[in-house]
Structure 1
């Protein structure tokens, strides 16, 4: 049992009631959570800070990243599951596999993702119900199980809303090479492999890979690789309780001193200095801090 799980994960069943319910996502503990709403039947509304209002009619599934900045109004007589995950749980759920890059970008898009496809709703519904049971039962409440449920929910939603297929459409040779390079970097950036290894795995020369990255993004392959390492270091310094040596080890550095020099050379701050700024700036819009995986191109 993980007694602290309720600080990092949220699972609620809202049965039909005689009055409406108002849920403020940006208040208190859940302000930085990613939320999923499974509207089994009935109606709800999303009220965005921009003034937009979005009516919802069940059965329906909605995904709300924290950037959505909205409130939820559940109408009387409506049955709904609401689950949420903190940035820490999302990091574990997204993992470190080839698909992780795509999932990170998908989960940080500043838009509402809806799926009214009944087959998709039927596929995700038991996963969301399982997540709620996991969080709700004191004898269970496992962080590992909660993050596993969240991974399955994310993968199912990504595939079901054409996130996977959209990535594969319209890519010429250059786009394909770049996308595959990003995926290889996602799977192997902790191994600190030379760029020539990546090029060989892609079946192109190192010069060809350099030209593709430079033309598409204005950066060399090694710059992109280093940016990914720095991005992960920032996220771990912000969102985990690991010490600097543990973070250095987890990112494949053999020496924490070298990691500190590398991080300072890229950011202008030591890892400890960056962590202190993150601690002091918690909940603010400090642009020095990482705003998420979507920052990595």
Structure 2
């Protein structure tokens, strides 16, 4: 059910309110989703989408080629593809596209966005992110772990060839798009804090830790694998997250041990060996120092919690 909204005085709102651009707003937009190419609508308007807003609709715009300028709340933002834009409900925006620009525009009603957010364990962060306009160059899928182009084209296929549970696909897609933008924001913050070169080195270090933590390489071996000095590695991680590289590696080892103690039936000695420990006594001390109790106690505590 869509609740009616009070009509604003004409003297206050002079900005056009549209459903899709150029079409009158429809108050019955619950459960709405539509995707189209930029080139399907922009040429008819001479590639200029005048400033307007949507009363009940949010949009995700993916600019793949061409580009242009995003006009948003009085600011002009140059778009150099690939570029992604998130527009929450009510944001005043317009576009001046370079003729021939290609990309996709996903338009969904605000209740679809709410469903995507509320179904996520990260709903607080996603809710905060979704409430504000976002625009940024689109990083490679390898950098954010999500292929945004594939997601958008997948929704377009769902629209062209309706299948069972298509609504679920759209909601899941919105969730993943918001996560992608959250990760883009994180990368941007890291780049601004560290600089592009050090941010790249920090990301490579985290990837290296993920691949190698079970063998517990020394920090000298880690730095050599990354092609930097141990001093530089320590300086980068300390600046990025306030802790040294060894502490980060230890945190990852402890996380894996906790997971295996909770979710597997492996013997504790087997878990220790799988995570690079040869001495059980040392493993017990290491785990207790980081987790606050011995491995056996940790497993028992979580086993009892699961029985409640």
Q: TM-score under structure 1 normalisation?
A: 0.46
Greater RCO (Cα-Cα under 8 Å, separation 6 or more):
1
Q: Please, what TM-score do these two structures have when normalized by structure 2? A: 0.44
Compare CA radii of gyration and give the structure with the larger one. Answer: 2
